[in-house]
Amino acid sequence: MNEIDFVLPWVDDSDTDWIRERNHYLGIKEENVETSRFRDWENLQYWFRGVEKFAPWVHRIYFVTWGHVPKWLNTAHPKLTVVRHEDYIPAEYLPTFSSHPIELNLHRIKGLSDRFVYFNDDTFLIRQVQPKDFFKNGLPRDCCIETALVQDDIHNPFASILMNDAALVDMHYSKKEVIKKHWKLWFHPACGTMVLRNLLMLPYREFSSFKYSHIASSFLKETFERVWQEEGEILDRVCRTRFRSASDVNQYVMKYWQYMEGKYVPQSPKTGRFYTVGIHDEQIHDTLRRQQCKMICINDTDNVGDFEKQKKRIIESFESILPEKSSFEKGL
């Protein structure tokens, strides 16, 4: 089967039932939520518009949710399947308020194609893409660049999690043997000057980490099944943790496993761009309006300045390239 599915998780931070349940497990009474991680930029419709306009070939979209859906979403669309957490995540891991059990169990989604692309809800298609942008010869497209990872915020566990991902593959694979076996992938010209990083990291005996690119990720379902078979005890422990922890692993361990096995086709890192609101504001709008790449990630933080003003401006930039409603929106 050559079908390619898209998987998109989403959280409605305004759902009082979700907030109440989350706060119950946090042990707090106030009905509030961490601002930047879950607040709604009201731009999800542009994700669907981008898919319909720039990737009409997609087989099916699996919309993963705690249970809520946007009011405007056409849930009867023939290409859309709404998946609740309890539809595919084992009951012993629920409820969860961490993205890691949601990601690490994706292979359990009923009907999911053997080849799928995982999006976060801040990553959008803004230019035409083809199946070959995500898979080639049946293998995921990716850019494997080793890097020395540093942590610049003691309160943010993310860098620690990425290091855990690398440590887990180091437990199974010899860096020397992987590079010897897959050297053509490791130093492929598609990655441009980035391959110099792989060259500079050669003296290090083990993999430190890999370049973090927060855009859509292409996966083989068999990779998830294999990692669960090999490291089910660790994944089980991570999935039983209701909130993110610095000792977790996440979906990037699946990417790294594909690197180790040579199950990917090198791709230019310029396929997508990662920007942070409040830091790269002008780049965000210029990239959107000029459609300078195929994918863009618009990352949220606590330091965006005037949130309403930023939100309005981003919506205006999306409207400049995706003004027409998609068939995934009600009332078309």
**18 or 151: which leads in pLDDT:** 18
pLDDT band, residue 309 (cuts 50/70/90): very high
Q: Examine the pLDDT at 31 and tell me if it is beyond 80.
A: no
Average pLDDT over residues 273-301: 95
Angstrom distance (rounded) from CA 113 to CA 107: 9
pLDDT band, residue 29 (cuts 50/70/90): confident
Query: What CATH number labels 4-271?
Result: 3.90.550
Give the CA-trace dihedral at 1, 329, 62, 60, to 10 degrees: 0
What is the model's pLDDT at position 293? 96
Strand spans (E) along 163-285: 209-210, 217-220, 265-266, 272-276
Q: Examine the pLDDT at 151 and tell me if it is beyond 80.
A: no
pLDDT tens, residue by residue, 236-265: 999 999 999 999 999 999 999 999 999 999
Give the CA-trace dihedral at 47, 109, 99, 138, to 10 degrees: -70
> In this structure, what token pair is assigned to residue 169?
């593959």
- In the chain, what is the straight-line distance between the N-terminal and C-terminal CA atoms, in Å? 32
pLDDT band, residue 294 (cuts 50/70/90): very high
What is the model's pLDDT at position 79? 98
Q: Which of 145, 144, 205 is nearest to 175 (CA)?
A: 205
Q: For residue 279, what are the contacts with CB-CB under 8 A and spacing of at least 6?
A: 301
What is the model's pLDDT at position 330? 93
What is the model's pLDDT at position 192? 94
What is the model's pLDDT at position 224? 98
Domain ranges of the chain: 4-271
**Does residue 49 contact residue 325 with C-beta atoms inside 8 Å?**
yes
Q: Examine the pLDDT at 40 and tell me if it is beyond 90.
A: no
What is the model's pLDDT at position 36? 45
Average pLDDT over residues 45-72: 97
The helix (run of H) or strand (run of E) holding residue 5 is: strand 4-10
Average pLDDT over residues 189-201: 95
Average pLDDT over residues 11-40: 78
Rounded to two decimals, the pTM is 0.95
Q: Examine the pLDDT at 37 and tell me if it is beyond 80.
A: no
Q: For residue 236, what are the contacts with CB-CB under 8 A and spacing of at least 6?
A: none
